[in-house]
Chain A
Amino acid sequence: MAGVSAADLEDLTARPRLFGRRRARVVGSRPPRERGDRTRSFVLTLIAVVGLALFLSPMLRSVVYAVKSTDQITQAGTPLWPADPVTFGYEGKELPLLMVPLPDGSTRQLALLEPGRKSSTFIDPAAPDAAPIAWQGSWRTLEQIWQFAPHWENFAKVWDLIDYPRLLFNTLAIAIISTIGTLLSCTLVAYGFARFRFPGRSFLFTLLIATIFLPTAVTIIPTYTIFQKLGWVGTWLPLLVPTFFANAYDVFLMRQYFMTIPTEMDEAAAIDGAGPFRTLVSVILPQAWPVVIAVAIFHLVYAWNDFFGPLIYLSSNPDIQTIALGLQRFNGVHYRDPGLIQAGTLMTLIIPVVAFLFTQRFFTRGIVITGVDK
């Protein structure tokens, strides 16, 4: 890259001292709360709560729509929550209940027996044996009565229609194998960059970091062609094999962490006769498990969410596709059924979201190491 010297990239990559080491505040030295802090706290927290509610509200909408019936979604003027019309069984028919204003000024819940344009007849559910009540006016203007009724069966339908177990298996298998590949290769490469001095090291490391800035398009065409000539298109291999050759993000993350581990123990191990590989396995890795977990989680989520790779390599064979691709295919067929789409969407996002909530401490820490030091 002409014009970008190693020093420029060094600026980008070598700032752990500025951001990594210093603690923001000394624990226990919080200044005493001042007057007005209480109001300020309240206002800021309120802003955060409202912002967060807006930010996450699409998730809530998705949940609500996933358990709505198609009838409710396509009908106008229905409640926001999942609901079915309340009906009254009369002579073997299910009649919808409506709020009917009566001439005497009262409003009663009546079952619609014969809908008509100008006038309709109703049955009083309290006295079904009485004569039907005739009512003047358009029944469509009347308010219908709804009851809370979540349609959980949308999830079961999607489970079968989308072949969820197979997609889940494919996605998990690809995610786990590629994570193993990433961990193996990135550990070795990061160890090489962190612990050994060799000619060209800083040039090679700059090159490694530079690949982060490279548009995918400039390499994808020959790569795809090669995979096609090898007969790998339509198999998982194009998604799995490259992960065994390391990637810039994860190498960088691991290298930064390895460099914070003191070298004294390496040296002690070397004196005891341990070779470099032995040192990595029995000295470095036992101290580096937080970064190993962070990279594993990163890559699992990345592989789970990847769309472009599966799109170009797996499109021809539905049996080997991942869940992200499966969801897009599902949308192409069932886009008229928003309840099903939202149910499928939730079934796609639930696993990474739950996984994140359980591991969020490693996850956010990992990003801090990659992001800030770059």
Chain B
Amino acid sequence: MTAPSVARPRGRPRFSGLAWRRARWGYVFIAPWIVGFLAFTAFPMIATLAFTFTNVNLNQAEPLQFVGLRNYETLVSDQRTWDSLAVTLKFALLALPVAVCLPFVVALLLHSRHLRGSGAFRVLFFLPYVVPFVAGVFVWQGMLSADTGWVNGLLKFIGISHPPDWLQDPAWIYPGLVIMGLWGIGGGMIIYLAGLKGIPSDLYEAAKIDGAGAFATLRHITIPMMSPVIFFTIVLGVVDVLQYFLVPLVLKNGTGEPGGSTNFFNLYLYQNFFTFQNMSYGATLAWLLFAISLGLTLLLFRSARHWVYYAGEAR
């Protein structure tokens, strides 16, 4: 992972006196992170786990006690939990492919040597990425409004007489939220662009000599060479989408409207904590979320061996 080092014997690495003095400096320099990790990550994680076996409550009407698996029993029988998880997964099925593919397509376009002024396009496609998301929500809320929005204005103009009421109709709210998320493609786009720039041009020349067309080149060279970046985008995308709730929170004030379709899992989790002040049950939901994202991440890592191609691998 770090700079190539002198081969060292297996087992405990041997450090001479001088090396130990250097090593100590290493610990000194990373100390701020170690302290921060213990205080803001490790301890809270363990405390959260401990909460799940107790009845911690902000008001603490009943005495604090060990309740065994009671929170987990509640979890299993709590229909709202499973409904909210279904909402998150349904949204993820729509949002994740867009978040992975669309930046890739835009990056391909910007990378094309046929495009004029690609530098300006790159800056402008990236620009909305720095817009504060609350501001982005209000901009898009107007844009998607049923009667004064420009999206429906355009749809009517091209002949669709009854365009959807994006943000009020349970059937259209997820596409609406995905459209709102489009302004976030800049991050993925820049990462893909960097990856595309890194593909050695001799591969493309070889493909050309072999008579490969544009599609075959994309399928057999660009996508395999980009698979590590695609993999990275998917993993981060999964972790992000499972935590999605802030946009609907701002948009619908946490009401879950329309028709419960924006009762996302993380919303329910934070409601348990901040609204119902039931820390223990909130903690149980948090660990469920952690377990799901860890499980999906591990599955992805396992699948990566079959489809992610590391050209630089020398192991």
Chain A interface residues toward B at CB < 8 A: 1, 3-4, 6-15, 17-20, 22-26, 30, 37, 40-41, 44-45, 47-48, 51-52, 55-59, 61-62, 65, 73, 185, 188-189, 191-199, 201-202, 204-208, 211-226, 242, 244-246, 251, 259, 276, 301, 304-305, 307-308, 312, 323-325, 327-328, 331-332, 338, 341-342, 344-346, 348-349, 352-353, 355-357, 360, 363-364, 367-368, 371-372, 374
Contact = CB atoms under 8 A, between A and B. Distances in A.
B41 A214 contact: yes
Smallest CB-CB A-B distances: 6 pairs: A245-B36, A192-B29, A196-B26, A371-B191, A18-B312, A19-B198
B48 A11 contact: no
B130 A215 contact: no
Interface in B199-241: 199-201, 228-229, 232, 235-236, 239
B142 A11 contact: no
Interface in B260-294: 266, 269-270, 273-274, 279, 282-283, 285-287, 289-290, 293-294
Given A198-B26, A202-B2, A367-B191, A18 B310 contact: yes
Contact of A304 (B112, B132, B310): B132
B177 to A, nearest CB: 14
Given A208-B33, A219-B41, A198 B139 contact: no
A307 B134 contact: yes
Instruction: Find the residue from B139, B270, B273 having the highest chain A CB count within 10 A.
Output: B139
A197 B18 CA distance: 11
B29 A371 contact: no
A217 B286 contact: yes
Contacts of A307: 132-134, 246, 250
B25 A185 contact: no
Nearest to A38: B114
B37 A211 contact: yes
B134 A328 contact: yes
Interface string B296-313: 011001001000101111
Interface stretch (B75-83, B120-128, B164-172): B120-128
A52 B125 contact: yes
A245 B298 contact: no
Contacts of A368: 190-191, 193-194
B152 to A, nearest CB: 12
Given A18-B310, A368-B190, 9 more contacts: A15-B312, A19-B198, A19-B229, A24-B199, A188-B30, A221-B44, A307-B134, A363-B126, A372-B194
B195 interface: yes
Contacts of A259: 2-3
A132 B130 CA distance: 58
Contacts of A188: 29-30, 32
B104 interface: no
Contacts of B190: 364, 367-368, 371
B23 A251 contact: no
Nearest to B136: A349
Q: Which interface residue of B12, B125, B134, B250 has the most chain A CB atoms within 10 A?
A: B134
Interface in B144-177: 148, 150
Nearest to A301: B130
A215 B13 CA distance: 34
B106 to A, nearest CB: 8
B69 to A, nearest CB: 19
B132 A324 contact: yes
B10 interface: no
Contact of A221 (B232, B250, B283, B298): B283
B66 interface: no
A338 B149 CA distance: 12
Given A353-B127, A371-B232, A58 B134 contact: no
B131 A353 contact: yes
Contact of B148 (A41, A57, A338): A338
Interface residues of B, number: 113
A214 B44 CA distance: 12
Contact of B228 (A15, A211, A217): A15
A93 B232 CA distance: 67
B19 A219 contact: no
A313 to B, nearest CB: 11
A342 B130 contact: no
Given A41-B116, A223-B40, A55 B243 contact: no
Contacts of A276: 22, 25, 29
B171 to A, nearest CB: 22
A214 to B, nearest CB: 7
B246 A308 contact: yes
A215 B290 contact: yes
A308 B243 CA distance: 12
B218 to A, nearest CB: 15
Contacts of A244: 32, 36
B94 interface: no
Contacts of B112: 44
Contacts of B41: 211, 214, 219
A197 B114 contact: no
Contacts of B140: 58
B304 A11 contact: yes
19 contacts: A11-B308, A15-B310, A18-B310, A188-B30, A192-B27, A198-B22, A198-B24, A199-B12, A204-B34, A205-B2, A215-B243, A215-B286, A216-B243, A220-B273, A242-B40, A324-B134, A357-B127, A364-B122, A372-B194
B266 A217 contact: yes
A215 B228 CA distance: 22
A199 B15 contact: yes
B28 A192 contact: yes
A295 to B, nearest CB: 15
Contacts of B132: 304-305, 307, 323-324, 327, 348-349, 352
Given A47-B109, A201-B26, A222-B51, A213 B297 contact: yes
A343 B199 CA distance: 44
